[in-house]
Structure 1
């Protein structure tokens, strides 16, 4: 039994090291999907907000955009953790870009009309991992909350 467990661990390690590193677009989309999934509800407004954010951020055509969203959702459902995505964004993006990503996370959290405590917790954790300051975390939350309130008025 121990031998079969060791073989399984070796197979999993070989598969994960053989996989090519994710692109910046996939890493971004996967972290945004993490926020959408945090409250265990996938709302159409959140999917549309994700689609628009990725379209604006990466300038993708509709087919490529759909593929990216599908792949990101598959990655977040299959991944044990999201550290490889966080690490890529932390290494490749400047502080302002990481703050803008946190702002996009808040926009997704408010896309369905309300922010869930689970979404806030997930964004807080991701912001910490992305080395976004608490002040920027709070400021982007407040700005997106105000924007969402203005749209619903």
Structure 2
């Protein structure tokens, strides 16, 4: 019985495909997570994410759309945001992580309404990125103010 279990788990390890997640994909997946938190990504949220990917990673529109599509597929099959937040934790300094969280708020406010699920997802990601609560609140207020002034 134990040998059968060991064999089963050994087979699972062989079947596992270790996919390397780069920073571009990690950012895109987490932004997608926010955009789809309320079950549907609005056109405004999608455009905001594409714009952020183009500016943040120096991509053209087609590359940004391709990255977003790849992120949506990755997000659909993902079971944990920690896979992606760990990439950001490892590769971004604290101030960059704070700016990223503000970017998530900007995506959430892109359609001029903050859904409770968006708030929850951003809070969870900010916690996984080890942001101070004061920085979390400041990014939210800043993004809200910025979205109202447009």
Q: TM-score, normalised by structure 1?
A: 0.88
Return the alpha-carbon distance in structure 1 between the equivalents of residues 15 and 69 of structure 2: 21
Task: Give secondary structure in 1 for the equivalent of 2:149.
Answer: helix
Matched, 1:126 2:125: yes
Shift of 1:114: 0.4
Which one has a larger percent helix, Structure 1 or Structure 2?
Answer: 1
Q: Which residue is 1:105 aligned to?
A: 104
Matched, 1:60 2:59: yes
Shift of 1:11: 5.2
Task: Give secondary structure in 2 for the equivalent of 1:81.
Answer: coil
Task: Give secondary structure in 2 for the equivalent of 1:20.
Answer: coil
Return the alpha-carbon distance in structure 1 between the equivalents of residues 48 and 12 of structure 2: 34
Aligned residues: 149
The answer to whether the 8 A contact 2:81-2:125 is kept is no
Shift of 1:8: 7.1
Return the alpha-carbon distance in structure 2 between the equivalents of residues 9 and 114 of structure 1: 46
Shift of 1:19: 2.4
Task: Give secondary structure in 2 for the equivalent of 1:111.
Answer: coil
Task: Give secondary structure in 1 for the equivalent of 2:79.
Answer: coil
Shift of 1:64: 1.9
Alpha carbons of 1:12 and 1:145: their partners in 2 closer, same or farther (altered >3 Å)? farther
* Cα deviation 1:12-41 (Å, max 9, x = unaligned): 54344x323111000010011111111112
Task: Give secondary structure in 1 for the equivalent of 2:130.
Answer: coil
Alpha carbons of 1:95 and 1:63: their partners in 2 closer, same or farther (altered >3 Å)? same
- Is there any run of 5+ residues in structure 1 with no aligned partner, and where? none
The answer to whether the 8 A contact 2:101-2:126 is kept is yes
Q: Which residue is 1:36 aligned to?
A: 35
Matched, 1:50 2:49: yes
Q: TM-score, normalised by structure 2?
A: 0.90
Matched, 1:94 2:102: no
Shift of 1:105: 0.4
Return the alpha-carbon distance in structure 2 between the equivalents of residues 123 and 59 of structure 1: 24
- Is there any run of 5+ residues in structure 2 with no aligned partner, and where? none
